[in-house]
Structure 1
Amino acid sequence: MIVDAHQHFWDPARADYPWMDAPELTPIRRAFGPADLAPLLKANGINASILVQCRSALAETEEFLRIADATPSVIGVVGWADLTDAALGETLDRLRALPGGDKLVGIRHQVHDEADPEWLLREDVQRGLTAVFAHDLAYDFLVRIRELPAAIATAQAFPQARFVLDHAAKPPIADGGSDEWSNGIAALAACGNVWCKVSGLATEAVWSDWNAELLFPFVAHAATCFGEDRLIFGSDWPVCLLAGSYGEIKGALEACLMKLGPQVREKAFGVNAKAAYRLPFG
């Protein structure tokens, strides 16, 4: 089973996506759905995908579960739920009972958009994470360098939980990288209960001037930190279209992973996602 562990669907005509307001995002400010992704998966030899939240709304999570229920290739959903809600456990029970609810594998929030860099450490958020893990769900860290210390402390606070770091914490590739990023993800990886998606990297580079060789040092550092058993491939489609086609993104990441060894590539394209999200295959 070859898995794309990070892709999105959205329709700006039907819902509000505040992060999409920037002028440079105009090329992707249109509807993307299962019919758009299906031929790309087929052309690139991908069997299944994980659909990941785009906005802070339960309505989106419910919609994604309906899509997953009707779309066999969507093997899992990382949805949104309000971690600060004292009744989060009941909300998760309700989501699980919906059509497609069995495909809910994780929860995510745009932590890097919060004003407080220590938002993850708030008492109400930590209480919410307790409910997430009580429901045997993973939690996706959507953080940048600024929020890495809070992510590290959170992973340490829940040693039995499963965390997934999205986009390798968005390294500053366009600026040539930074020690702060390198050291931060090394410390997060040392927690032992965090997987890392090598996704969204091309869009952290100069969109018109990148290639696999440029991305490789960042993929290699993530591999050094997390090891071959905790590295996961994700396309970040359709955000990735800002920098390249689905095939170009997949090809570049595959080249980076193969350079580290065929077993690294093989695990990152399937079994590691299965372990992180407890996916039902194989």
Structure 2
Amino acid sequence: MIIDAHQHFWDPARADYPWMDAPELSPIRRAFGPADLAPLLEANGIDASIVVQCRSALEETEEFLRIAHENPFVIGVVGWVDLTDGDLGDTLDRLRALPGGAKLVGIRHQVHDELDADWLLREDVQRGLTAVFARDLAYDFLVRTRELPAAIATAQAFPQARFVLDHAAKPPIADGGSDEWTDRMAALAACGNVWCKISGLATEATWDDWDAERLLPFVAHAAKCFGEDRLIFGSDWPVCLLAGSYGDIKRALEACLAKLGPNVREKAFGVNAKAAYRLRVA
């Protein structure tokens, strides 16, 4: 099974997405739903996808579970919950009891938008993560280089939990990279309970001036750090449309992975996502 482990659905006419207000994001400031994605998956040889949180609202998580229930190709949901909620355990149990609730495989918060670089280390957040892991759910790190130290400490604090790093921590590709990102990625990868999504990389490059060769050093570093068993493909559709088509993104990542070893591509395009999210699929 070929899996796109990171895609989104949204409708700015029905909900507020504060991160989408920037003028340069106007090309994607419209509705994107399952009917838009399904033909792209078929055209690009993708069997299934995981839909990932876009806004901090339980209503969105509930909607994604409904979508997953109604669309078999959506095999997992990484949703949002309030990690500081004292009744989080009850909230998670309620979500899992909904139609599609069995497809709730992970939780995510937009940590890189928090003013506090150590937000993940707050006592109430760590308590919330305990409730997440007690229900055998993964947690997606949405962080940049600034927040990587807190992500490292969190992964170390929960050695039996499963974490997935989104977008390889958004390396500064357009600026040529940084030693800080390089070193902190290696430190996070040293925690054996963290997987890395090589997703969202084209939009960290210059949108109209990138190709597979520009992405390769960053994919190669992620592969060096995490190894072939902890790399995961994700399209980051429809955000990726700012830099290229769904096919452009998939082909570029395939070209990068093909240079890193015979098993890297196969595992990144399905096997590793199954392991990270414990997907119940044949």
Instruction: Give me the TM-score of the superposition, normalised by structure 2.
Output: 1.00
What are the residue-to-residue correspondences of 1:34-53 with 2, within 5 Å? 34-53=34-53
Partner of residue 195, structure 2 = 195
For structure 2, which runs of at least 5 residues remain unmatched after alignment? none
Partner of residue 80, structure 1 = 80
Partner of residue 158, structure 1 = 158
Q: Which amino acid aligns with 1:5?
A: A
1:280 CA drift (Å): 1.1
1:57 CA drift (Å): 0.1
For the residue of structure 2 that corresponds to 1:260, the secondary structure is: coil
Q: Which amino acid aligns with 1:14?
A: R
Deviations 1:27-69 (A, max 9, x none): 0000000000000000000000000000000000000000000
What are the residue-to-residue correspondences of 1:226-241 with 2, within 5 Å? 226-241=226-241
Q: Which amino acid aligns with 1:61?
A: T
Deviations 1:244-282 (A, max 9, x none): 000000000011011112310000000000000000123
Partner of residue 253, structure 1 = 253
Deviations 1:89-117 (A, max 9, x none): 00000000000000000000000000000
1:16 aligns with 2:16: yes
Q: Which amino acid aligns with 1:13?
A: A
What are the residue-to-residue correspondences of 1:83-162 with 2, within 5 Å? 83-162=83-162
Partner of residue 265, structure 2 = 265
Q: Distance in 1 between matches of 2:279 and 2:256?
A: 25
Q: Distance in 2 between matches of 1:14 and 1:57?
A: 13
For the residue of structure 2 that corresponds to 1:125, the secondary structure is: helix
Q: Distance in 1 between matches of 2:179 and 2:275?
A: 29
| Seq. identity, % | 87
1:213 CA drift (Å): 0.4
1:216 CA drift (Å): 0.3
Q: Distance in 1 between matches of 2:124 and 2:167?
A: 26
Q: Distance in 1 between matches of 2:240 and 2:36?
A: 14
Q: Distance in 2 between matches of 1:87 and 1:259?
A: 47
For the residue of structure 2 that corresponds to 1:89, the secondary structure is: helix
Give the paired residue count.
282
For the residue of structure 1 that corresponds to 2:232, the secondary structure is: strand
Q: Distance in 1 between matches of 2:262 and 2:254?
A: 10
Q: Distance in 1 between matches of 2:204 and 2:252?
A: 14
Q: Distance in 2 between matches of 1:49 and 1:36?
A: 13
Q: Distance in 1 between matches of 2:159 and 2:86?
A: 22
Instruction: Give me the TM-score of the superposition, normalised by structure 1.
Output: 1.00
Q: CA RMSD in A?
A: 0.4
For the residue of structure 1 that corresponds to 2:77, the secondary structure is: strand
Partner of residue 220, structure 2 = 220
Q: Distance in 2 between matches of 1:13 and 1:191?
A: 41
Q: Which amino acid aligns with 1:103?
A: K
Deviations 1:181-229 (A, max 9, x none): 0001100000110000000000000000000000000000000000000
